[in-house]
Structure 1
Amino acid sequence: MDEPVKPQVIRRVGALLRAIAAAPTAGASTSDVARAAGLARPTAHRLLSSLAEEGLVDRDQKSGLWSLGPELYLLGSQAAGRYDITDLARDILRDLARETGESAFLSARRGDETVCVASEEGSFPLRSHVLHIGIRLPLGVASAGLVILSHLPDREIDEYLGRHELTAAWGSEHSTDGIRERIDATRLTGYCVNPGLLVEGSWGMGAAVFDAADQPAWALSLTGVESRFPETRRHELGELLLRQAHRLTQRLRRGR
């Protein structure tokens, strides 16, 4: 008789894989992965060892650091045809970066988080380094997560905010009231503004990209230093983001 799989184990495995994915290129130690996943070190080590046997993670024999394994690459390549839109978005990111001088990003919604999946550096010499490919942030945090959350139905927003208390990790500006105020502002314009709430002086703006079911599944965003986002320019940048987000949405619906 097959042994039943406990949902808790699946959640722990997912947390471990995400923790390794967010680590530097060289990999992460067992202690660091356990801490990021919220697990005891012996539990993390036991699960990681089992994942290594399946090729889902790999461990450097010299450094002892964990990295994602070759089997995940093979599985990911199979899923890419359905979920990876970076090829369709590449020229749009280049256009955004060229027209604005700011760094442009594409983020995808993954449950209650966004993950940055592609980027294009702008020409302006001073840059914000808050975002990078692979970084995961909760919905409502940073411009991509805020604009996606803002376009969800009210019921889903209420449920999300009921599940998560963000101030401990992200500061008092990410209280429920603060997030709701920014959602209201985003719904008025269609685009969102993050006025340096993650790192002082580092601003961002975002616009949602919708899937075939008209759900906000991705976001385009621009980031840069505060001096590049005066009030007189924010409307211009917001309108540009909305146009390019609509362009990508239409391209996705055509399938090319």
Structure 2
Amino acid sequence: MANTDGASEASGSDIQAVARVGQICALFGPHTAELTAADVADRLGLNRTTAYRYCASLVAAGILDRGPRRGTFVLGGLMLQLGIHALSRRQVVEIAPPRLASLSAAVRMTAVLSLWGARGPVVTLVEEDRSRTAVVTVRAGAQLDATAAQSRVFLGQLTDERAMGWMTEGMTSAQRAELEAAVYTARRAGYCIASQSGGVFSAAAPVFDEFGIAATVGLLGADPQADLSAGSTIITELLRTTSALTAELRGTREARPHENSEL
């Protein structure tokens, strides 16, 4: 008698196709709005005919659209729909706006809420500080790199052992060691301060729900006289905000146990 259990399971080729779709979608980001089939082929090690067939099939499914330039592809309407739906299910996105506004006003800095995306933190909400002549800001949808304080806070709390690998891709051993030290310090302190290009600095702390880290709240500034010491107004208000959000989400400020000691 034939085994019908195996017939109901996805075949190896089906699973590989699904994985390939995920890899193609992951190629898009803040600095990669459009790709050609040749780009996809080069980055994923495919031949160009196969890459084009994948892209054309994804267009038919609504996952990709034809780009404005000949031969290019962009993320499609289905991805937009799913992204909006995914965000709407994150309670922290609903409750954070008034907290960010109060924080920004209290410290006269731009306040940012970020969620962990496919391979790193993605800016989700931005409350700009308009009290100063020059506004230090970041756009919603931007993916943060390893230099951002919010990235380091996430790495200090995530249990997925792949996270550090994604964030350190292309780094030298010395750069990775520096990042690991910063992540360790952020986890111990409960917040992180990071210097970035152009004299900009960022400070960030985690927000927890019942499952672990749900988001990070960050502050962006460029005032060289800003007091970022423990117990300063900036750090106190930042931690007060993340504690309030954590309480609303019924989370705990205690970090979850880590599955990978590197994080």
Which bin holds the TM-score, normalised by the shorter protein?
0.7 to 0.9
Contact 1:12 1:37 in 2 (8 A): no
Q: 2:151 aligns with which of 145, 160, 179?
A: 145
Contact 1:102 1:224 in 2 (8 A): yes
Give the superposed CA RMSD.
3.4
Q: CA deviation at 1:180?
A: 2.8
Counterpart amino acid of residue 75 in structure 1: L
Provide the residue aligned with 1:15 in structure 2. Answer: 23
1:106 equivalent to 2:108? Answer: no
Q: CA deviation at 1:188?
A: 3.9
Equivalent pairs: percent with the same residue?
23
SS of corresponding position for 2:62? coil
Pairing 1:207-226 to 2, within 5 Å after superposition: 207-213=205-211, 215-225=212-222
Pairing 1:1-256 to 2, within 5 Å after superposition: 3-5=11-13, 7-23=15-31, 27-30=33-36, 34=40, 38=44, 40=46, 42=48, 43-60=50-67, 64-83=71-90, 85-110=92-117, 112-123=119-130, 124-129=132-137, 131-137=138-144, 140-152=146-158, 160-161=163-164, 163-164=165-166, 166=168, 168=170, 174-176=175-177, 178-196=178-196, 199-213=197-211, 215-225=212-222, 227=224, 229-231=226-228, 235-253=232-250
SS of corresponding position for 2:232? helix
In the alignment, the residues of structure 2 paired with residue 88 and residue 110 of structure 1 have an alpha-carbon distance, to the nearest angstrom, of 19
SS of corresponding position for 1:227? coil
In the alignment, the residues of structure 1 paired with residue 135 and residue 47 of structure 2 have an alpha-carbon distance, to the nearest angstrom, of 37
Q: CA deviation at 1:28?
A: 1.6
In the alignment, the residues of structure 2 paired with residue 200 and residue 79 of structure 1 have an alpha-carbon distance, to the nearest angstrom, of 34
SS of corresponding position for 2:139? coil
In the alignment, the residues of structure 2 paired with residue 80 and residue 164 of structure 1 have an alpha-carbon distance, to the nearest angstrom, of 22
In the alignment, the residues of structure 1 paired with residue 124 and residue 242 of structure 2 have an alpha-carbon distance, to the nearest angstrom, of 15
For residues 39-89 of structure 1, the C-alpha deviation after alignment (integer angstroms, 9 at most, x for no partner) is 557254332211110011211466554332222333344434423632211
- Structure with bigger helix share is 1
In the alignment, the residues of structure 2 paired with residue 112 and residue 252 of structure 1 have an alpha-carbon distance, to the nearest angstrom, of 24
For residues 119-146 of structure 1, the C-alpha deviation after alignment (integer angstroms, 9 at most, x for no partner) is 11112233445x32112235x5411111
The 3 A distance-change label for structure 1 pair 136 and 77 is: closer
Taking structure 1 as the reference length, the TM-score comes to 0.76
Aligned residues, how many? Answer: 241
Counterpart amino acid of residue 98 in structure 1: A
Taking structure 2 as the reference length, the TM-score comes to 0.74
SS of corresponding position for 1:136? coil
Q: CA deviation at 1:168?
A: 3.2
Contact 1:195 1:202 in 2 (8 A): yes
The 3 A distance-change label for structure 1 pair 192 and 41 is: farther
Which consecutive unaligned segments of at least 5 residues does structure 1 have?
A: none
The 3 A distance-change label for structure 1 pair 94 and 36 is: farther
The 3 A distance-change label for structure 1 pair 19 and 111 is: closer
Q: CA deviation at 1:14?
A: 2.4
In the alignment, the residues of structure 2 paired with residue 45 and residue 234 of structure 1 have an alpha-carbon distance, to the nearest angstrom, of 56
